[in-house]
């Protein structure tokens, strides 16, 4: 366990997650890679049963506003997203001679760990959504948020469901707490 890194799970808070690519390299720089990432995020959302409240995929990082998963915790969900994506985009390592020039392929897609901010209030939830949706504009990738299809903006403004279902609670299972003894 990393020293000084404290995660707050179990209170059913929303979590604002930021994951960065290794050494800020643009592993999400093409439309096909961003689409692949969103397909994987949706698969993990269904598998771990969490609600995505918002997202944006940038060329070298992503932001995600999510509920706590019903299967596992946000760390396990992010580990799964990052592993599945890396397995799809990293070139296969040749077996045998590690010193050959072909063995000098990248081995990392993601920075270890991730930033996780617990979102307790509606005000903070809206702030994080606005930040995410404005990120491509701020970076100069587009002029307006609706021009960046790799965010939840179109879902919020126009009701257009993208590769990741936003605010979908249908997959959640009712949890009943046992009576206090």
Answer whether residue 146 shows pLDDT above 80.
yes
Average pLDDT, the chain: 86
The answer to which of 50-59, 97-106, 122-131, 157-166 has the lowest mean pLDDT is 97-106
Q: Environment class of residue 158 by beta-carbon count within 10 Å: exposed (0-12), middle (13-18) or buried (19+)? A: exposed
Strand partners, 21: 110
Strand segments, DSSP code E, in the chain are 14-20, 52-57, 61-66, 115-119
The answer to which of 56-65, 101-110, 144-153 has the lowest mean pLDDT is 101-110
SS3 116: strand
Q: Which residues contact 60 (CB under 8 A, 6 or more apart)?
A: 20, 21, 24, 25, 26, 27, 28, 29
Sheet hosting strand 52-57, strand order edge to edge: 52-57, 61-66, 14-20, 115-119
Crossing angle of helices 74-89 and 31-48, in 10° steps, is 140
Higher per-residue pLDDT: 119 or 100: 119
Q: Give the closest residue to 53 by CA, choosing from 34, 22, 74.
A: 74
Higher per-residue pLDDT: 21 or 172: 21
Answer whether residue 112 shows pLDDT above 50.
yes
Instruction: Report the pLDDT averaged over residues 100-126.
Output: 81
Q: Give the closest residue to 8 by CA, choosing from 156, 119, 118.
A: 118
What's the pLDDT tens digit per position in 20-62? 999 899 999 999 999 999 999 999 999 999 999 999 999 999 9
Angle at 145 between CA 31 and CA 128, to 5 degrees: 105
33 in the Ramachandran plot: left (φ > 0), alpha (ψ -120 to 50) or beta? Answer: alpha
Instruction: Report the pLDDT averaged over residues 82-90.
Output: 93
Q: State percent of the chain over pLDDT 70.
A: 80
Strand partners, 116: 17
pLDDT at 1: 43
Answer whether residue 102 shows pLDDT above 60.
no
Answer whether residue 176 shows pLDDT above 80.
no
CATH annotation of 14-91+107-158:
3.30.70.1290
pLDDT at 63: 96
């Amino acid at each position: 366990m990393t020293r000084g890194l404290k995660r707050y799970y179990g209170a059913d808070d929303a979590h604002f997650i930021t994951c960065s690519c290794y050494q800020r390299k643009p592993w999400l720089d093409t439309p096909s890679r961003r689409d692949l990432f969103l397909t994987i995020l949706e698969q993990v959302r269904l598998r771990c049963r969490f609600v995505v409240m918002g997202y944006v995929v940038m060329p070298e990082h992503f932001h995600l506003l999510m509920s706590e998963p019903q299967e596992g915790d946000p760390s396990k969900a992010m580990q799964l997203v990052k592993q599945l994506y890396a397995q799809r985009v990293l070139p296969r390592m040749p077996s045998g001679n590690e010193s050959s020039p072909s063995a000098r392929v990248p081995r990392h897609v993601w920075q270890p760990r991730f930033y996780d901010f617990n979102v307790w209030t509606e005000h903070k939830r809206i702030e994080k959504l606005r930040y995410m949706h404005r990120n491509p504009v701020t970076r100069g990738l587009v002029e307006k948020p609706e021009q960046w299809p790799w965010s939840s903006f179109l879902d919020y403004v126009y009701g257009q469901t993208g590769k990741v279902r936003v605010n979908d609670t249908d997959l959640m299972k009712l949890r009943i707490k046992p009576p206090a003894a």
